[in-house]
Structure 1
Amino acid sequence: MKVFVYSNGLELSENYRLTLHSRLESVLSHFGRSINRVNVYLQDANGQKGGVDKVCRLVVHLRRQPSVVIEDRDAELAPLIGRVLERASQVTQRKFTRRRSRSGAGSMSGG
């Protein structure tokens, strides 16, 4: 799985990027080759103003299916990323569950 991290207005250390990549791998790796790539966009929307201004947008590009897009905001980056990763895993799992149930439903329509 290819992972790309983009940041706007946030300084991310190489260690933080590696940690983020590792977390993504652990959360999404069980989907295997069904995921083409993952793009993570991190932004400090308000700059120096403070407040609930950090935005995380995660795009999971799936093979043969529409992408999963999750976006959220928070004052702190770590809990924000944790929530977004959890939701991305849940939504991606739901997509594959629905796909399997739909493909199985068609075979039961006897003739």
Structure 2
Amino acid sequence: MIVVTTENIVNHTIIEVKGTVFGLTVRARGIGKDITAGIKGLFGGEIKQYTSMLEDARKQAMERLIENAEALDANAIVMMRFDSGDVGQNMSEIVAYGTAVVAVPTN
């Protein structure tokens, strides 16, 4: 599956637009991560537990995005983006979205 953040794919022609696709995941922060984050917040620096959690969430959102596009018989996704937000007090939502297309190599 070709996934790009651009409107077009280099050396390809889009011959069909299948529609909007997305992958969504919601992750809860554990109390241990919240305590560690609170301590780190006092001294500054990267909170590696949250970074790891968000990286995993983005990977899962991408996997679900690709599954959604494959279900539409697309072979590429253009204009892919991520969005995130908070759900409740200790949950984060990550969404990967884009447009599923059929693209063929140009000669």
Same structural fold, with TM-score higher than 0.5 when normalized by the shorter chain: no
Answer 1 or 2: higher relative contact order, Cα 8 Å, separation at least 6: 2
Flag the structure with higher strand content: 2
Flag the structure with higher helix content: 1
Structure with max Cα Rg:
2
